[in-house]
Chain A
Amino acid sequence: MIVSIADNIISPLGMTSEENYEAVKAGRSALHRYEDLWNLPEAFTASLMDRETVEDAFAALPVEKEYTFFEKIVLLSASRAIKRAGIDPSSERVLFILSTTKGNVFLLDKRETGFPQERVLLGVAARQMTDYFHNPNAPIVVSNACISGVCAQIEAIRNLQSGHYDYVVVAGADMQSAFIVSGFQSFKALSPESCKPFDAQRCGLNLGEAAATVVLARRDTVTENDWVLCRGAIRNDANHISGPSRTGEGSYRALKVALGSMNPDRIAFINAHGTATLYNDEMESIAIERAGLAQVSVNAMKGYYGHTMGAAGVLESILSMCAIDDHNILATKGFDTLGVSHPLLLSNQNQTTEKKAFIKLLSGFGGCNAALLFAKGVEL
Chain B
Amino acid sequence: MNFKSLNHTTMEELIYRLKQEIIEALNLEDMKPEDIDENAPLFGEGLGLDSIDALELIVLMEKNYGIKLQDPSKGKEIFKSVTVMAEYIQKNRTK
Contacts and interface: CB of A to CB of B under 8 A. Distances in A.
Asked if chains A and B are in direct contact (CB within 8 A), the reply is yes
B52 A242 contact: yes
Interface in A123-165: none
Q: Which of A187, A188, A242, A243 has the most CB of B within 10 A?
A: A188
A188 B72 CA distance: 7
Contacts of B55: 186-188
Contacts of A188: 55, 58, 72
Q: Interface range on chain B: under 10, 10 to 19, 20 to 34, or 35 or more?
A: under 10
B27 interface: no
Nearest to A241: B52
Interface residues of A, number: 6
Interface string B29-72: 00000000000000000000011100100110000000000001
A243 B52 CA distance: 9
A246 interface: no
Interface in A219-243: 240, 242-243
B13 to A, nearest CB: 29
A54 to B, nearest CB: 34
Contacts of B59: 186
Contacts of B58: 188
Contacts of A243: 50-51
Contacts of A240: 50-51
Contacts of B72: 188
Nearest to B56: A186
A188 B59 CA distance: 11
A353 B68 CA distance: 49
Contacts of B52: 242
Nearest to B69: A188
Contacts of A187: 55
Interface in A60-105: none
A242 B59 CA distance: 18
5 contacts: A186-B59, A187-B55, A188-B58, A242-B52, A243-B50
Interface of B: 50-52, 55, 58-59, 72
